[in-house]
Amino acid sequence: VISDHDAIRTLNQRYARAADERDVDALALLFTPDATVDGARGAQTIAEWLDTMRSPRSWPTSMHVLGDPLIVLAGDTAHVDTYAVVHQLADPTSEQADLTLGIRYLDDLVRVADRWAIKARTARTLWMR
Amino acid sequence: VISDHDAIRTLNQRYARAADERDVDALALLFTPDATVDGARGAQTIAEWLDTMRSPRSWPTSMHVLGDPLIVLAGDTAHVDTYAVVHQLADPTSEQADLTLGIRYLDDLVRVADRWAIKARTARTLWMR
Amino acid sequence: VISDHDAIRTLNQRYARAADERDVDALALLFTPDATVDGARGAQTIAEWLDTMRSPRSWPTSMHVLGDPLIVLAGDTAHVDTYAVVHQLADPTSEQADLTLGIRYLDDLVRVADRWAIKARTARTLWMR
């Protein structure tokens, strides 16, 4: 048995790995079925957002480096505020440039059976380079 | 109830958010009243340091991305060593350039009632770009 | 007494500090005597890898900024997957340029008496700049 804080940090890291591997099935497990994602493409249902993750990538590989999250627990819900630096990496043989983004994830989580899941995510891009 | 390690990580993240929002009242709550800060402006009392945080910013926005801290607990005190990358972001409509700094925070913490607070901070800038 | 998750995060941070200080004795304590390291120099025994850490550095200073690790515990073993950004810093008075690397550490850990140690590390460089 691990603490809620550690379970939530694990959720964050599973998100990073699944996003970088474009493992859409693994991503789907991290959200509730009625989750919403509000990010670069505006407000989306989780089904719409997962569809965009299935589409061809603009950069072939990525690395989501997440800082330690700010976790505020309230019983079976939690608010999680995570700073991330996302490295979008070009194919080195192409002329495409890498893109690095500073992103803040603001997530509402709920406890679902024995795990935590994201019910609402707002992803704000703070900078890109 | 959360563990001391998690309470200290939360303190770190509250510092990052308060520094980025220039919320001086929130910053003051993270230090003891007799705290000292030794950083880019030399050794300061917490009152002097908070005054510098109230003055106009050289960059309009910032993002303090903190790595996981190295925490050494000793009863009601703790030593916390945190690597941070601080993104100082220019107004995109200006000609000012962004500045990125690598900073190491070396903090002595004390337990005060039901929370942890910074009693002495040394902030060393390792690089800037 | 701290949790296994916190002990493993502490191991990660002790690695970062010892690597940055080139403290080879401190590094040796973080691995089992029969550990293997598979990285930029190919597969090495821990003795061989420590020897390379004793040799002159290509950059005089470094800063290993580690993201939060993905930890999967299984009794007295653990698998730890950590994203890191390593800043290799040139002497500012030289003409050498800084080098920044994105590295993924995939570690098999074992519990040894009252601590955790790395038994096998794979370090993959994802990008450099």
For chain A, which chains pass the contact test of at least 3 CB pairs under 8 Å? Answer: B, C
Q: Given A10, A69, A87, which is nearest C102 (Cβ)?
A: A87
pLDDT tens digits, one per residue of B24-72: 999 999 999 999 999 988 999 999 999 999 988 888 899 999 999 999 9
Looking at residue C76, the DSSP 8-state letter turns out to be T
- Separation in Å, CA of B9 to nearest CA in chain A: 8
% chain A with pLDDT above 90: 84
How is residue A120 written in tokens?
């609402």
Interatomic CA distance for residues B124 and B38, integer angstroms: 8
- Average of per-residue pLDDT across A50-57: 90
Specify the pLDDT at position B72.
Answer: 97
pLDDT surpasses 90 at A114: no
How is residue A53 written in tokens?
């993750």
pLDDT tens digits, one per residue of A64-110: 999 999 999 999 999 999 999 999 999 888 889 999 999 999 999 99
Query: Which residue matches tokens 């690395």?
Result: A63
Alpha carbon separation from B31 to B15, B46, B120 (Å, rounded): 10, 8, 8
- 3-state class (DSSP) for residue A92: coil
This model of the complex carries an ipTM of 0.93
User: Chain A to chain B, count of Cβ pairs less than 8 Å apart?
Assistant: 48
- Average of per-residue pLDDT across A9-16: 98
B12 and B109 Cβ atoms separated by less than 8 Å: no
The residues, ordered by sequence, that sit 6+ positions from A63 with a Cβ below 8 Å of its Cβ are: A20, A86, A87, A89, C83, C102, C104, C126, C127
pLDDT surpasses 80 at B1: no
Low-confidence ranges of chain C (pLDDT < 70): none
Phi-psi region of A24 (alpha: psi -120 to 50; beta: other; left: phi over 0): alpha
Interatomic CA distance for residues C107 and B26, integer angstroms: 38
On chain C, the residues whose CB falls within 8 A of the CB of A66 are: 67-68, 83
Interatomic CA distance for residues B110 and B115, integer angstroms: 9
On chain A, the residues whose CB falls within 8 A of the CB of C81 are: 13, 17
Specify the pLDDT at position B93.
Answer: 87
Interatomic CA distance for residues C35 and C39, integer angstroms: 13
